[in-house]
Amino acid sequence: MRSDLHQFPDTLTEQELLSKIDELNNDSNIHGILVQLPLPKQIDEFKVISAISPEKDVDGFHPISVGNMMIGKEAFYLVHRMALWSYSLITTSTQLANTL
């Protein structure tokens, strides 16, 4: 299993984060994306969560994933095999400091 940590300052702009998510969505070597919540106040969490490809939505927060869970469908099929895949974690410096 491979994991990448993408750590950003709290001054990260929404567009910078959306660009990183787009890059990861299009990277065939990345099979899952985790965005550490809560995000800095200048970033719209719904917009960020919605930008993650449902196929790479590790948290299961994408609207399609939530909808599938509500009707009893499996939302994120890779979670069961996560040890075999690679994923990226996106966080800010304050969030990371609070987890240590």
The string of pLDDT tens digits covering residues 66-84 is 777 777 776 555 444 444 4
DSSP 8-state code for residue 29: T
Q: Please give the Cα distance from 10 to 68 (Å, whole number).
A: 32
pLDDT value at 32 more than 80: yes
- Only one residue has tokens 């240590």, namely 100
- pTM, to two decimals: 0.76
Q: For residue 93, what pLDDT band results from cuts at 50, 70 and 90?
A: low
pLDDT value at 6 more than 50: yes
Mean pLDDT of the chain: 80
Q: If you average pLDDT over residues 23-52, what whole number do you get? A: 93
